[in-house]
Amino acid sequence: MRVPVFLLADINIAQHRRLAAPTSPTGSPYARLQSALSIEIHDAQECYGPFMSRVEYRQDDGVRLVADVTGHPTGPRIILAHGGGQTRHSWAGAARHLADTGYRVINYDARGHGESDWSKDHKYSTARRWIDMRQILDASGAGNAEIGRTQSPPDERVAIVGASMGGATALFGVSQGYRPDALILVDIAPNSNREGMERVRTFMASGLGGYATLDEAAEAVAAYNPSRPRPLGTTGLRKNLRRHANGRWYWHWDPGTIDVEIDAERQLMASTMDAIVQAKELPVLLVRGLQSEIVTDCTVAEFRSRLPRLEVADVGGAGHMVAGDRNDAFNSAVLEFLRRQLPLPTQS
C-alpha cells in the first residue's frame, strides 16, 4: 500500500485491546452498572483507515477523554463533538471524509460516554463539558504530537462541529469568550424546541433498564426514529451498547448524563444567543434535519432574525440524528462551508 507523503510520520495505529471500566463508588447503582462493563478499543482501520492515532486527554479533574485523531498532520483542526447518548463512532463517516480532504480531525468521546471516563460525582454540567472541550482545543493546538512529528508547523485554525449536546457545549464556549474560526451547529440552536428536547431525554431514559437483545434495542431506536432506514444488522449498535453480567445490553453512557432540568438547560442555552450575535466575525452554519423536533421552522426563523449572517443547511429525510440519517448530504454541507471558511493551503 502506498502511504501519502504527508502521513510519513510517527503514526500510532490503535490496537485492538481491552481496558478496565471506569471506577465509581462501591455499592452505588453506578458501580453495579459498571461492574460488568469493559471498554473495547477498535482497530483504527475499522472506521477510518490505517492513518489514525488514539489519544487520551487527561482533564484537570483526572477524567480521561478518549479521541481519535486523523487526517493531515498540519491541516486546520476540526473538533467533532457528538450528541448526548452517542459516541465518537457516530462521526465515523464525517471524520473519514474530512480527513481524506486534508483536515486534521479530533473526534472525541465526551465524558460519561463511550470509552471516556465517567465523572466521579456523575454530574455533567454544560460548564464542565466546555472545560473539557477547551482543554482539548488547547492541547490539540499546541502542535501535532497526536499524529506524529512533521517538519511543517501545524495550522492553528480550528472549527468546531457540535451535534446537539456537543453544539450546546460550543455555544456555551462562545458565551465564555472563546472564538473558533468557524462553528457548525448540528441540529441544535440557542432557542431549541422544548418538546423535542423532552422527547430525546424520554427516549434515553427509556433504555436505562437495558435490552434483552440487540434486536430489541434496534426496535427501540426504530420506534423513536421511524423515518430512518433500519440497518440490515446490529453491528453499529455494538459500538453504543455493552452487555453486562446480567446478560442485558445497556447504552454506553453514564445515566447521570440525563439528570438535567430541561427548563434550566434551555435558559442557559438562551443566554448564549446574545454572545453568538455579538461574535460578529464568527461564521456559523446550522445543519438541521427537516424532520427534527428540536430545530423546527420556528426555531430557524427566530435564530435567523437574531443572527442574519447565519447559514442554514436543511437536510431532507433526516431528523435530529442528521449525520446518521443522511451522512452523504451532511458531509457535503459541512465540507462546502469549511472550504470557504477554513480553506486548505492548496485551495487558497
13: left (phi over 0), alpha (psi -120 to 50) or beta: beta
Let me know the angle formed at the C-alpha of 190 by 301 and 334, rounded to the nearest 5 degrees: 75
Q: Lowest-confidence range among 191-200, 211-220, 233-242, 263-272?
A: 233-242
Structural contact between residues 112 and 253, judged by C-beta atoms closer than 8 angstroms: yes
Structural contact between residues 115 and 84, judged by C-beta atoms closer than 8 angstroms: no
Backbone φ and ψ for 247, nearest 5 degrees, come out as: 90, -10
What 8-state DSSP symbol labels residue 175? H
What pLDDT is recorded for position 32? Answer: 32
Handedness of CA 120, 122, 123, 126 (dihedral sign): positive
Residue 6 has pLDDT above 70, yes or no: no
Instruction: Give the separation between CA 220 and CA 226, rounded to whole angstroms.
Output: 10
Summarize pLDDT for 157-214 with one digit per residue, the tens. 999 999 999 999 999 999 999 999 999 999 999 999 999 999 999 999 999 999 999 9
Residue 144 has pLDDT above 50, yes or no: no
Summarize pLDDT for 17-71 with one digit per residue, the tens. 222 333 333 343 333 323 322 222 233 444 444 467 899 999 999 999 999 999 9
Residue 320 has pLDDT above 70, yes or no: yes
What pLDDT is recorded for position 177? Answer: 96
> To which H or E segment does residue 50 belong?
none
Structural contact between residues 124 and 257, judged by C-beta atoms closer than 8 angstroms: yes
What pLDDT is recorded for position 302? Answer: 96
- Written as nine digits, the cell of 345 is 493551503
Of 160, 151, 191, 155, the closest CA to residue 271 belongs to 191
Summarize pLDDT for 147-169 with one digit per residue, the tens. 444 556 678 899 999 999 999 99
Residue % of the chain over a pLDDT of 90: 64
Instruction: Give the separation between CA 279 and CA 115, rounded to whole angstroms.
Output: 34
Range 231-244 average pLDDT: 84
Instruction: Give the separation between CA 239 and CA 246, rounded to whole angstroms.
Output: 19
Of 141, 135, 161, 136, the closest CA to residue 153 belongs to 141
In this prediction the pTM is 0.81
Domains and their CATH numbers in the chain: 5-195+256-343 (3.40.50.1820)
Strand partners, 77: 104, 158
